[in-house]
């Protein structure tokens, strides 16, 4: 029996489990009419954005598919695989967001009963997304496997799937990120800073756009990101099969099965882990956090055990298990280190709060320095994972380490995707004039979500780094670069490294400016509404929420094009002009610098956010003090860092690497113009 | 005749010319008693700092010299060369700063007569420094050449000189940078933001410390930085002689002479260039700027011509001339691009001003994005320079391109070092109650200084990048790494690249935090004086300037240790633990990322500074508006970016590379623990 059948069964299990969770959620009470009304507005805004985003994406997918189809050495099967990957990514994003927008009001209503009930609804919503992402990923790859694994072009066709997933992901992450940040910044600057009204106040015209943004950015964008990492890491490992054979680790077929099977073990482990997230009826915050951690931890242990079984039954080399463990452990520790640098329970973020006492300038410098310093553990951990994995299982081992890190994605993504749902629930509570203790509960859920989101973000970046590196290695094999061919003494390799390091900088500049431009428009619109709509500030008139939603949608869709296209075009140009060796250097430069900058931005942003929360919790003068005002500036700077530019870099490095892999056959035949 | 005699003659010419300029300056009027008094206070503060800094450095130099002396494969000649390099660097810094602190009051007094007269005094002060730096550099290297060029260890001994220069430079740049920024930030936050008094107001207790900071940071620090680049680029080229011989470009001796002779040509060209900086008696701003540009441009053309003559007379390959031109042109264009991104005459910085209208948050994001985007031209230019130089003259060509870029240092540094003198003169005018039109004149000089400083900073970074790369190449040759030995498929090389990329981040985090900590102390001290000294705000009592000077000195000396030591220890550890191949990867990663981050920080900082000035010039509400307050926050963040962390990275990448080169014989024998 072909063991990939088991992967298909696990995929089917995912859908069944997700359906079970979804039915549970849909059975819950949606709350008062006002709550339904707000939830409906969010739903409409989010769906309108997704619809229009997918229209843009459809054009992009068709154009790229045609290019892939007509280019010699690639062809229509690669194009088909690409379209399939794009559709799978789109479906994963759609399901996740669809669930999130149906869960926000239900979470708010559940929080009226108890904190525990609120966690249950929101976490299950996140779990639907997490489980669906891995389910769709494994089923999609299985379909390709069964359709093509007999073909000689198999290893040329499957990277197309990853390219499709990555292509959709970059637009989703960048577009969603611009949307959510522009709305958030706009709402905060006019609402909190200028008018002095609370967060999510219904008088703020941008408040619905802000809540929509949480869904299109943090849910759909994050889902597309991790779907991409997930399938790309499996693809990278499969395409390195030859290397595994040479190293005597496995036969070609076993080397294909291993990543699928280890991932399958992770899926089962994640489902069991989700079941473990249970607390007593009257649980406190710490019990909730422990429950989430217990679930993730159980899933990790089980994944390791399943991996050992897989290796045993497939008769592969035991070195592979060490590579799995290297990735798994590195991922967990990176997550914890992110938490250390961004949570206000620890020194680094408290020092940012403290720096707020001397004004916004020192807040920024201090948070930025903290973000820079926070890159130390993740880079050291990735380096250790690379060296360990390579020592035990060679280049194939590095790819396997990526699989190890991502195998528990089902549950990790669940703990991450529930945050925005809780955030939305808090907004709905605020806008529905529910009693303050309910808001306190959703705030507690939100705070918990911030902790798990920080861990999840660190994990996403670590996974992206390893996956991209594995793809880069696959690329060198596919393009036939030997060990001595890409030397640091080759000026083209050095030129590639310099240009690669440049990419994340330009990409961030573009996305930061896109957020800035869009936010500027929103700010002016909200200011205009406060000025022109009579009785708005007194609560006698309603703002025109739709206008802000519309501005955000249009602007985000327009602004996402340039950075996304740059990411796609750059590796193609480097490869065709400077040649395949320069492209390898380019990828390494982009991966190393992209990883660094992504960690820095995510953690600086998280740290500013929580430094503000620490002040709001009554330290250094509390809400309304000068320190608080300074901390709000930090938060405004941090939002695009942590929600747009930083996470988009994850996708950028993977996308550029998989494009190199897809175009490898072309480069083999054509070569570079210069190098 | 040994042509290096010509280098000695050129060096002697430098001292004669510098003495001539210095005598001119010392003949000038020092202004009123009040002006002398202030100048005296600055002088005392600056000298006290330098004296204590040199005491710390003496300990460091002795310890490292002993280590170098006793380590097998290195020995006492290397140690001696190291001490000599350190002393030369110290002397260059001392002369430059000594001249600057004698010129500030004289510039102020000269500005009372005319703008032109003010430029003349301040520019000549900068020229003394520029000419002395190159003079000391070329004489020092000539001494080593004559003493050791017959020895078989010649190529092991001269890197010691560069290490000495680099070691002093890192402490000088970091210590001076921390000093100047902490004082500046402290003075600005309490003075401008909290108390609403003007810049350089005598009631501000930190004002003298701020003026001292300009001298110890911008003059002594910058001088040490470029002295290091200058000698390191020559050393790197000399140690690559074997490569040049293999490539058929020159004989070994010619390959040693070439860098010395091209640099000598640059010295003569620079002296002629300084003479070209002349304007009519009643010149306007634009005429002044044109005069400076004319000088630099003339020096560049002459340098190219001298280089052609050198190649002709030494009978070397003409490919070397192309390498010289690649570096020379890249340096000039990088300077111009820096100017484009940081001057308020152009779009990028004006957009930062515009973003200030929506608050400090958008100011920061916009300036940061601008800094990131500004890395595009320098990286593309460096890549082109590398490819062109390598195409025409191989690896030796890359080192020669560094020489080409730095050959006009004498005049470039002059245009850069005059800025802080003008800045100091402005402070003295403000504190001496001179009529506002005099302040306007010194402000004009200062603004001109900002433009040339921006160009100079871009140039310094470009030079550092090429020099460090050349040193890294020398290292690979010294350690005997062949072309196929440092592959991107080697996990140790990849690990090295990741760790190398990490270095600038950690380094910046440490320096930013050092500035923050020191500034915090100063802020509290200035606040205390305003609170406790009666009649201070009314101008009836004097603040205790000495206290702030003392705090800055102690804190800067304390805080400079950790980042400097990190830079020295990191490459040693990487080499000894992960091995020589990982060290090569480490250097490339650090150079590429360090270059990127240095450009980003310098330009973001410059852009925030000038965005504030653009608003102060009456745009978007002008001084005192909300936009202005937001822009001041940007400036506060930008100061440590552009004056401490960014420029220190220049030194970091060169220092780590030269340490690798110095320790190469050890690595050849011992190898790495793991790799």
**DSSP-assigned letters across all residues of A336-364:** HHHHHHH-TTSHHHHHHHHHGGG-HHHHH
| A366/B513 CB distance under 8 A | yes
Find the residue in A nearest to B383 (Cα). A495
Q: Please tell me if residue A358 touches chain B, with a CB cutoff of 8 Å.
A: yes
pLDDT more than 70, % of chain A: 99
pLDDT classification of B352: cutoffs 50, 70, 90: very high
* Residues in CB range of B123: below 8 A, 6 or more apart: B277, B292, B414, B415, B418
Q: How far apart are CA B338 and CA B330, in angstroms?
A: 12
Strand-pair partners of A487: B487
pLDDT more than 70, % of chain B: 99
> What distance in Å separates residue B130's CA from the closest CA in chain A?
30
| pLDDT of A72 higher than 90 | no
Highest mean pLDDT among A202-206, A275-279, B452-456: A202-206
Q: How far apart are CA B185 and CA B203, in angstroms?
A: 16
Mean pLDDT for A139-167 is 92
pLDDT given at position A283? 63
| pLDDT of B451 higher than 80 | no
Q: How far apart are CA A386 and CA A381, in angstroms?
A: 9
pLDDT classification of A5: cutoffs 50, 70, 90: very high
Q: Which residue has the higher pLDDT, A158 or A430?
A: A158
Find the residue in A nearest to B632 (Cα). A361
Nearest to A486 among B487, B501, B513 (CB): B487
Q: How far apart are CA A648 and CA B47, in angstroms?
A: 50
For A487, list phi and psi in degrees, rounded to 5.
-95, 150
> What distance in Å separates residue B87's CA from the closest CA in chain A?
33
| pLDDT of B483 higher than 90 | no
> What distance in Å separates residue B463's CA from the closest CA in chain A?
15
B623: Cα separation from own chain's centroid: 31
pLDDT classification of A478: cutoffs 50, 70, 90: very high
Q: Please tell me if residue B515 touches chain A, with a CB cutoff of 8 Å.
A: yes
Inter-chain CB pairs, A–B, below 8 Å: 247
DSSP structural state of residue B249: S
Where residue A31 falls (left for φ over 0; alpha for ψ -120 to 50; beta otherwise) is left
What are the boundaries of each domain within chain B? 4-670
| A499/B383 CB distance under 8 A | yes
ipTM, two decimals: 0.94
Find the residue in B nearest to A591 (Cα). B498
Chain B positions touching A469 (Cβ under 8 A) are 494
DSSP structural state of residue A484: G
Q: How far apart are CA A401 and CA A382, in angstroms?
A: 10
Cα-Cα-Cα-Cα dihedral sign, residues B592, B593, B597, B598: negative
Q: How far apart are CA B577 and CA B674, in angstroms?
A: 6
Contact yes or no for A328/A405 (Cβ under 8 A): yes
DSSP string, B202-214: TT-TTHHHHHHHI
pTM of the model: 0.95
| B505/A361 CB distance under 8 A | no
Q: What's the residue count for chain A?
A: 675
The shares of helix, strand and coil residues in chain B, as percent rounded to the nearest 5, are 85, 0, 15
Q: Please tell me if residue B326 touches chain A, with a CB cutoff of 8 Å.
A: no
Nearest to B358 among A189, A486, A632 (CB): A189
| pLDDT of B283 higher than 70 | no
Q: Please tell me if residue A484 touches chain B, with a CB cutoff of 8 Å.
A: yes
Residue to substitute from A247, A355, A488, interface B, most B β-carbons within 10 A: A488
DSSP structural state of residue A192: I
End-to-end CA distance of chain A: 47
Residues 394 to 413 of B: which have CB under 8 A from any A CB?
395, 398
Residue to substitute from A360, A470, A480, A603, interface B, most B β-carbons within 10 A: A360
Residue to substitute from A378, A464, A472, A494, interface B, most B β-carbons within 10 A: A494
CA distances from B352 to B19, B312, B370 (A): 44, 50, 8
Mean pLDDT for B335-342 is 91
B136: Cα separation from own chain's centroid: 16
Contact yes or no for A507/B368 (Cβ under 8 A): no
> What distance in Å separates residue B584's CA from the closest CA in chain A?
8
Instruction: Compute, in degrees rounded to 10, the torsion defined by CA atoms B21, B25, B26, B29.
Output: 160
Strand-pair partners of B487: A487
Q: How far apart are CA B295 and CA B133, in angstroms?
A: 18
Contact yes or no for B431/B38 (Cβ under 8 A): yes
Nearest to A592 among B391, B492, B498 (CB): B498
Tokens of B76: 């006492």
pLDDT given at position B582? 95
Chain B positions touching A497 (Cβ under 8 A) are 497, 588-589, 592
Instruction: Compute, in degrees rounded to 10, the torsion defined by CA atoms B457, B463, B469, B473.
Output: -160
Q: Which stretch of A251-255, A264-268, A352-356 has the lowest confidence by average pLDDT?
A: A251-255
Residues 184 to 223 of B: which have CB under 8 A from any A CB?
185, 189, 193
pLDDT given at position A65? 96
Q: Please tell me if residue A431 touches chain B, with a CB cutoff of 8 Å.
A: no
Q: Please tell me if residue B372 touches chain A, with a CB cutoff of 8 Å.
A: yes
Residues 600 to 619 of A: which have CB under 8 A from any B CB?
600
For B30, list phi and psi in degrees, rounded to 5.
-95, 5
B566: nearest Cα among B641, B495, B505, B518: B505
Please report where in the chains the tokens 């300084």 appear, as a residue. B274
| pLDDT of B285 higher than 80 | no
| B637/A365 CB distance under 8 A | yes
HSE-CB at B370 with a 13 A cutoff on CA atoms is: 36
Q: What is the enclosing helix (H) or strand (E) of B607? A: helix B580-616
Instruction: Tell me the pLDDT tens digit for each residue of B46-81.
Output: 888 888 889 999 999 999 999 999 998 888 999 999
| pLDDT of A263 higher than 80 | yes
Q: How far apart are CA B433 and CA A350, in angstroms?
A: 44
| A596/B495 CB distance under 8 A | no
| B491/A398 CB distance under 8 A | yes
Residue to substitute from A377, A590, A592, interface B, most B β-carbons within 10 A: A592
> What distance in Å separates residue B569's CA from the closest CA in chain A?
16
pLDDT given at position A299? 92
Q: Which residue has the higher pLDDT, A287 or A169?
A: A169
Chain A positions touching B193 (Cβ under 8 A) are 359
Mean pLDDT for B126-136 is 93
Q: Please tell me if residue B522 touches chain A, with a CB cutoff of 8 Å.
A: no
Chain A positions touching B391 (Cβ under 8 A) are 491
| pLDDT of A516 higher than 90 | no
Q: How far apart are CA B441 and CA A338, in angstroms?
A: 51
| A359/B636 CB distance under 8 A | yes
| pLDDT of A540 higher than 90 | no
| pLDDT of A649 higher than 80 | yes
Nearest to B476 among A489, A497, A523 (CB): A489
| pLDDT of A652 higher than 80 | yes
SS3 (DSSP) at B346: coil
HSE-CB at A635 with a 13 A cutoff on CA atoms is: 23
pLDDT given at position A445? 84
Mean pLDDT for A65-69 is 95
Chain A positions touching B370 (Cβ under 8 A) are 509
pLDDT, mean over chain A? 90
Q: Please tell me if residue B468 touches chain A, with a CB cutoff of 8 Å.
A: no
Highest mean pLDDT among A240-244, A436-440, A564-568: A564-568
pLDDT given at position A2? 86
Q: Please tell me if residue B370 touches chain A, with a CB cutoff of 8 Å.
A: yes
| pLDDT of A92 higher than 80 | yes
| pLDDT of A282 higher than 70 | no
Nearest to B505 among A499, A596, A640 (CB): A596
Q: How far apart are CA B520 and CA B541, in angstroms?
A: 24
pLDDT classification of A370: cutoffs 50, 70, 90: very high
Mean pLDDT for B148-160 is 89
pLDDT given at position A204? 87
Tokens of B77: 């000649």
CA distances from A350 to A601, A651, B341, B532 (A): 18, 31, 35, 30
pLDDT given at position A281? 67
DSSP structural state of residue B250: -
């Amino acid at each position: 029996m072909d063991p990939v059948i088991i992967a298909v069964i696990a995929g089917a299990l995912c859908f069944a489990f997700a359906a079970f969770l979804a039915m549970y959620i849909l059975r819950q009470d949606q709350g008062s009419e006002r709550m339904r009304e707000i939830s409906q507005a969010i739903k409409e805004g989010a769906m309108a954005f997704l619809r229009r985003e997918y229209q843009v994406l459809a054009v992009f997918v068709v154009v790229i598919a045609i290019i892939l189809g007509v280019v010699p050495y690639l062809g229509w099967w690669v194009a088909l695989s690409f379209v399939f990957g794009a559709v799978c990514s789109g479906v994963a994003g759609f399901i996740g967001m669809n669930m999130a927008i149906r869960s926000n009001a239900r979470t708010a209503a559940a929080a009226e009963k108890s904190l525990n009930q609120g966690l249950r609804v929101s976490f299950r919503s996140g779990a639907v997304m997490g489980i669906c992402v891995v389910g769709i990923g494994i089923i999609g790859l299985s379909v390709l496997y069964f359709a093509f694994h007999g073909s000689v072009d198999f290893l040329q066709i499957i990277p197309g799937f990853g390219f499709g997933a990555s292509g959709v992901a970059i637009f989703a992450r960048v577009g969603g990120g611009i949307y959510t940040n522009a709305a958030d910044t706009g709402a905060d600057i006019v609402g909190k800073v200028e008018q002095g009204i609370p967060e999510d106040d219904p008088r703020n015209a941008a408040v619905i756009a802000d809540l929509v943004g949480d869904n299109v950015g943090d849910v759909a964008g994050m889902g597309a990101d991790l779907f991409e990492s997930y399938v790309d890491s499996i693809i990278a490992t499969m395409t390195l099969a030859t290397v595994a054979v040479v190293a005597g680790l496995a036969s070609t077929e076993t080397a294909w099965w291993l990543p699928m099977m280890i991932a399958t073990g992770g899926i089962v482990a994640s489902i069991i882990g989700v079941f473990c997230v249970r607390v007593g009826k009257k649980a406190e915050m710490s019990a909730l956090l422990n429950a989430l951690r217990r679930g993730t931890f159980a899933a990790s242990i089980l994944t390791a055990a399943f991996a050992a079984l897989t290796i045993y039954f497939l008769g592969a080399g035991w070195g592979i298990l060490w590579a799995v463990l290297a990735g798994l452990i590195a991922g967990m520790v990176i997550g914890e280190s992110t938490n250390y640098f961004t949570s206000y329970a620890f020194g680094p973020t408290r020092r940012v709060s403290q720096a707020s006492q001397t004004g916004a300038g020192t807040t920024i410098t201090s948070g930025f320095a903290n973000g820079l310093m926070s890159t130390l553990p993740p880079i050291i951990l990735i380096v250790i994972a690379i060296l360990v994995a390579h020592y035990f299982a060679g280049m194939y081992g590095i790819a396997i380490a990526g699989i190890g890190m991502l195998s528990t994605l089902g549950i990790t993504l669940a703990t991450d995707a529930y945050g925005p749902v809780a955030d939305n629930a808090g907004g709905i509570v605020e806008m529905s004039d529910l009693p303050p203790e309910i808001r306190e509960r959703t705030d507690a859920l939100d705070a918990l979500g911030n902790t798990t989101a920080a861990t999840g973000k660190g994990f996403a970046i670590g996974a992206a780094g390893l996956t991209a590196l594995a793809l880069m290695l696959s690329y060198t094999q596919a393009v036939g670069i030997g060990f001595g061919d890409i030397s640091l003494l080759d000026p083209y390799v050095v030129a590639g490294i310099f240009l690669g390091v440049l990419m994340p900088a330009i990409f961030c500049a573009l996305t930061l400016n896109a957020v800035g431009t869009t936010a500027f428009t929103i700010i002016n619109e909200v200011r205009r509404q406060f000025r022109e709509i009579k009785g708005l500030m007194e609560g006698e008139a309603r703002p025109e929420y739709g206008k802000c939603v519309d501005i955000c949608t249009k602007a985000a869709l327009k602004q996402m094009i340039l950075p996304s296209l740059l990411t796609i075009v750059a590796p193609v140009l480097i490869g065709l002009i400077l040649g395949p060796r320069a492209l390898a250097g380019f990828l390494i430069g982009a991966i190393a610098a992209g990883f660094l900058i992504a960690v820095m931005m995510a953690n600086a942003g998280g740290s500013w956010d929580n430094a503000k929360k620490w002040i709001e919790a009554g330290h250094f003068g509390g809400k309304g003090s000068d320190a608080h005002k300074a901390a709000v500036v930090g938060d405004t700077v941090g939002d695009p860092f942590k929600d747009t530019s930083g996470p988009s870099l994850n996708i950028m490095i993977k996308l550029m690497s998989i494009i190199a892999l897809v175009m490898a056959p072309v480069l083999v035949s054509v070569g570079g113009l210069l190098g």
